[in-house]
Amino acid sequence: AAGVIQSPRHLIKEKRETATLKCYPIPRHDTVYWYQQGPGQDPQFLISFYEKMQSDKGSIPDRFSAQQFSDYHSELNMSSLELGDSALYFCASSSQTGEVEQYFGPGTRLTVT
């Protein structure tokens, strides 16, 4: 079965640079979530989209923005990167009309130097 696809899998950036992470949800899933997991931490919710509209917002810094496109893929844009942004970024997708569980992509490991 198709899973959530995230790209790139690894990304190394310097401080103050920008980064764009991409997420392709499971086909027919209408909701995308972004989570950030720091080293040794639990995943923290950043932002979600339902049918291309922002549906909920968590602890997403103002330096970050995201959107969902007409093909349901989503992008997380991160600017003015800081050392503390180094983390594993997960995208998850679900269907609001079907199963409620979220299926996670493999994650993008961002390292800021």
Task: Kindly list the residues in this chain that would bind other proteins in the complex (CB under 8 A).
Answer: 31, 33, 35, 41-45, 48, 55-56, 58, 88, 90, 92, 94, 96, 99-107, 109
Nearest residue (CB) to other proteins, 45 versus 67: 45
Q: How far is the CB of 90 from other proteins (least distance, A)?
A: 6
> Which residues are CB-contacts of 42 (< 8 A; sequence separation ≥ 6)?
none
| Burial classification of residue 4, based on how many CB atoms lie within 10 Å of its CB (0-12 exposed, 13-18 middle, 19 or more buried) | buried
Nearest residue (CB) to other proteins, 56 versus 82: 56
Rounded Cα gap, residues 74 and 82, in angstroms = 22
Nearest residue (CB) to other proteins, 25 versus 43: 43
Q: How far is the CB of 100 from other proteins (least distance, A)?
A: 5
Nearest residue (CB) to other proteins, 9 versus 16: 9
| Cα→Cα distances 108→6, 28, 36, 40, 85, Å | 7, 23, 10, 16, 12
H and E: helices and strands count for the chain: 0, 11
Q: How far is the CB of 57 from other proteins (least distance, A)?
A: 9
Q: How far is the CB of 12 from other proteins (least distance, A)?
A: 17
